[in-house]
Structure 1
């Protein structure tokens, strides 16, 4: 097997440092008060949907360091069919998918289920986290940032 070189289009952080720092600040604020494992599951799932190789690589490493198991990481793309995720995690993952695939909308069913498992502050933080990971994914996919192209 031979790796295919994918050339990055630009170094976004060098070209637009103020924007990059603003997204970093939003990311830090969005993480406050959220469980580290749940946080990484959400970021991995959004990154899988958005096909962001850089973020998938980054967040799976962080998930492992936060205590996540390989089996759950492997099954994350099929979480609907897996019995390994809690009701709270499933609610967060459903909201992640709805917000990431926004043209389909966030249904009342999905939102209400998330609101059942997260208080208002936690839900606001979760929404901000999903918003932020989608921003990172779009930035990295557009500029072709991949693992090893830092």
Structure 2
């Protein structure tokens, strides 16, 4: 993409879908909160869930969500190195087996349009390291962040000027 096209994308103003239909957005936030609670109740580390959110957001090209969840992960104690290397997680030994299974599942679910399925080996790998409740929470976390990504990317949601 040439620089003028990139500038047009960054500079364009679009309808912010979350603000345009606040009741639907609140419903999505309520769903998100329910999934976060299910993940905590299942004993999942919140940092794992943030890695899922970051990775799906990277794949979907949602800068707003990558920024938000990288900051959230850092607040939870995640290292910059692991965040920086997340786009090549399979090439390192920096991630646990649970994290690797969650990331593989997240990638498969995020790329459904390419495969129309979650491969059996990805599913089986996840079931080998997660309880059923944990698997369900990870799959729902991937689902919810993909919904948020679609709203953010479509709206060109701007980054906060002074992130906390």
Unaligned runs of 5+ in 1: none
After TM superposition, list the pairs within 5 Å mapping 1:29-44 onto structure 2.
Answer: 29-32=34-37, 33=40, 34-44=44-54
Query: Once the 2 structures are TM-superposed, how far is the Cα of residue 30 of structure 1 from its aligned partner?
Result: 1.0
Unaligned runs of 5+ in 2: 1-5
Question: What is the CA RMSD across the aligned residues, in angstroms?
Answer: 1.5
After TM superposition, list the pairs within 5 Å mapping 1:3-22 onto structure 2.
Answer: 4=7, 5-22=10-27
Equivalent-residue separation in structure 2 for 1:128 and 1:52 (angstroms): 18
Q: Is 1:147 the equivalent of 2:151? A: no
Equivalent-residue separation in structure 2 for 1:20 and 1:6 (angstroms): 24
The structure whose RCO (Cα within 8 Å, separation 6+) is larger is 1
- 2:105 aligned partner: 95
Aligned length: 147
Which of 27, 30, 47 lines up with 1:25 in the alignment? 30
Query: Once the 2 structures are TM-superposed, how far is the Cα of residue 11 of structure 1 from its aligned partner?
Result: 2.3
After TM superposition, list the pairs within 5 Å mapping 1:110-121 onto structure 2.
Answer: 110-121=122-133
- Could you tell me whether the CA contact under 8 Å between 1:6 and 1:144 is conserved in 2? no
Query: Once the 2 structures are TM-superposed, how far is the Cα of residue 8 of structure 1 from its aligned partner?
Result: 3.4
What TM-score does the superposition give when structure 2 sets the normalisation length? 0.85
Which of 54, 78, 82 lines up with 2:88 in the alignment? 78
Equivalent-residue separation in structure 1 for 2:91 and 2:18 (angstroms): 38
